Amino acid sequence: MRLDAVFWDYPRFVDEAVVRQTLAEKRGTFVYSWMLARLLERGRAVDTMALVPLAEIAQAVREAKISDRARRKWRRLVEVYGAAAGG
């Protein structure tokens, strides 16, 4: 998992276990929203989808402060992978 490009300025979040733990502990908070926006904007799709359920990504795409380019990318990924999962 490549998280150094996502959290380059927060070295502790380069560790996948720390990211998973923080996401689990901070669900529903500003920290969770901030981390998810970072993942959507700068993370690889494979890494982001391994860390965050697709349904939460779909919700975040509508609400997160991310670029139009990232929003288009994730809308398409949610469409493709949601359909592939039967959702």
> Whole-angstrom Cα distance, residue 52 to residue 39?
9
Q: What is the mean pLDDT of the chain?
A: 93
The pLDDT score that the predictor gives to residue 82 is 83
Token match 């670029």: residue? 67
pLDDT tens-digit map of 26-43: 999 999 999 999 999 999
Give the C-alpha separation, 85 to 9, whole Å. 35
Q: Which helix (H) or strand (E) holds 10?
A: none
Average pLDDT rounded to a whole number, residues 60-72 = 95
3-state secondary structure of 33: helix
* Amino acid at site 87: G
Yes or no: say if 49 and 57 are a contact pair by the CB < 8 Å rule: yes
Region 31-58: mean pLDDT is 96
